[in-house]
Amino acid sequence: MTFKRILQLARPWAFYIGLFLILRYTGVISAVSSVTQQALMKTGAMDAEPSDATLDKKFNYNFALRDINGNTVDIQSLKGKTIFINVWATWCGPCRVEMPSIQSLYDKVDHEKIAFIMLAIDQKDAHRKVTSYIGDKGFTFPVYFPDKTLPEQLQVRSIPATFVINREGKIVFREMGAANYGTEEFRSFLMNL
């Protein structure tokens, strides 16, 4: 195969690779992805589907978090409650897409029975970025930061990651990736644990 023939075959691919690189490094691809995920969220295609089956793993309550005001919160204090935990970061597009549905869920549940932990894992300048983002969006759910090392169960490889722990301390739901939690089905699931 001649060099000229190789160039002819590579030319169409060079256009697509160049287009991808431009979209990627200008940030446009992130915006397109976000819009696509928001549209899917509205169709119901991304609704969280709780199941009745317990994952049968005991949750490790032996850790602490810091709330948005810098106060240390011992997770042991939440034993006996259903806990909704979402691991997220401000730079995560899918995390941002699912947040309005989590706010909707938070608005519709009994906070005496169900605790929410929106666990921000931003690294650099985390407190400023997170408080600014939460304030700009008008979210009212409680936001926390890791105080020290998180238990292995919450050390996830990808975000967003969502867990539900029942009152008996068992993980009954785990979702990796964005989902719509603002449905009546998911609210009922939480309220009936």
- CA–centroid distance for 118 within its chain: 8
Task: Please give the pLDDT value at position 45.
Answer: 64
pLDDT tens digits, one per residue of 161-178: 999 999 999 999 999 999
Q: What are phi and psi of 78, to 5 degrees?
A: -95, 0
- Does residue 24 surpass a pLDDT of 60? no
pLDDT tens digits, one per residue of 36-75: 556 555 666 667 777 755 566 899 999 999 999 999 999 9
pLDDT tens digits, one per residue of 101-146: 999 999 999 999 999 999 999 988 889 999 999 999 999 999 999 9
Sign, CA dihedral 80-179-99-191, equals negative
Task: Please give the pLDDT value at position 50.
Answer: 77
Task: Please give the pLDDT value at position 124.
Answer: 82
Better-predicted residue by pLDDT, 3 or 80: 80
Task: Please give the pLDDT value at position 158.
Answer: 93
**Strand ranges of the sheet holding 57-58, from the earlier edge strand across to the other edge:** 57-58, 170-176, 161-165, 82-88, 114-120, 143-146, 64-67, 72-74
- Does residue 23 surpass a pLDDT of 60? no
How many whole angstroms separate alpha carbon 4 and alpha carbon 63? 63
Fold of 57-191: Glutaredoxin (3.40.30)
Better-predicted residue by pLDDT, 30 or 70: 70
168 contacts 85 by C-beta, under 8 angstroms? no
- Does residue 32 surpass a pLDDT of 90? no
Task: Please give the pLDDT value at position 167.
Answer: 95
Task: Please give the pLDDT value at position 123.
Answer: 87
Task: Please give the pLDDT value at position 101.
Answer: 96
Q: Among residues 32, 185, 191, which one has the least CA distance to residue 101?
A: 185
